[in-house]
Amino acid sequence: MKDILTAPWLTELIRTCTNMYAHGWDERNGGNISLLLDEAEAAEYLDLNSVLRTIPTGFSAPELDGKHFLVTGTGKYFKNVQYDPAANLGLVRLTDGGRTAELLWGYSDGGKFTSEFPAHMMSHAVRLAVDPKNRVVMHCHPGNLLAMTYVHDLDEISFTRTLWQMCTECIVVFPDGVNVLPWMLCGTNEIGEATAEKMKTARLVVWAQHGIYGAGRDLDETFGLIETAEKAAEIYMKIAHLPRLNTIGDEQMHLLEAHFGVKAREGHLN
């Protein structure tokens, strides 16, 4: 059996955690990632019949029964993942309709998955229904997007259009736009359910005064989604107090749609 520390999906997750911390998106123990693995991928590195312990999840997700996830741990600092993956990450299999997680590897110090596990799993279930190739849910606290939720109205069309207007690439990278939730108590099933509902129509969901959730087919795509939205928010925060003499208008956005073969979310452009 191969050494799990050499698994491409593990090394890529470690690099992603390190990069997110370096970007300032995941201060202290802020942020979390979950990566859906095919059973065959996990079986190359682990005896899937060897369950270390079981952990109640506190929610139900029958659609995910039997699926395997690599998940960051609760209370863990992203900066430490590269130094001790086994303590900071865990590989679990959902059973009992999603109500139980079987730990197959990791959380070696007795820990468990992130407190945002319900939001992750509910979002995975929804995104898989939309796109069967979805594999990643990522949560972090990018400073400019967070700041934007204090000074910009939270109407989703308005919020999306503002981001699209900041960088030419935005409408190409996330033509499905950005959905927004008002402030809610984190780490609860309620915010998980609300996030999952928003994930039905967009891969990016902003939590006002908190951070953002992103979903995608791989770690690079999901990181890139958040990175692009955060760059747009940075530009907005630099110019929001200034008179705007130029912008990217709807006419230009329609040109981008045609040139890059994307379609902006219905109702977001004139």
- 225 and 128 co-located in one domain: yes
- 212 and 255 co-located in one domain: yes
- 89 and 158 co-located in one domain: no
Structural domain range at position 242: 116-270
pLDDT per residue rounded down to tens, the chain (270 residues):
799 999 999 999 999 999 999 999 999 999 999 999 999 999 999 999 999 999 999 999 999 999 999 999 999 999 999 999 999 999 999 999 999 999 999 999 999 999 999 999 999 999 999 999 999 999 999 999 999 999 999 999 999 999 999 999 999 999 999 999 999 999 899 999 999 999 999 999 999 999 999 999 999 999 999 999 999 999 999 999 999 999 999 999 999 999 999 999 999 998
As annotated, the active-site residues are: 116
- 82 and 186 co-located in one domain: no
- 71 and 145 co-located in one domain: no
- 125 and 228 co-located in one domain: yes
pTM here? 0.95
- 165 and 83 co-located in one domain: no
DSSP, residue by residue, the chain: ---GGG-HHHHHHHHHHHHHHHTTSS-TT--EEEEEE-HHHHHTTS-TT---EEEE-SS--GGGTT-EEEEEBTT--GGGTTT-HHHHEEEEEEEGGGTEEEEEEE-TTS--B-TTHHHHHHHHHHHHHH-TT--EEEEE--HHHHHHHHHS---HHHHHHHHHHH-TTHHHH-TT--EEE----SSSHHHHHHHHHHHTT-SEEEETTTEEEEEESSHHHHHHHHHHHHHHHHHHHHHTTS-------HHHHHHHHHHHT--PPTTS--
Split into its structural domains, the chain has a count of 2
Of 64, 97, 114, the last residue of a domain is 114
Whichever domain contains 224, its CATH number is: 3.40.225.10
Of 54, 79, 114, the last residue of a domain is 114
- 140 and 88 co-located in one domain: no
In this prediction, residue 1 carries a pLDDT of 78
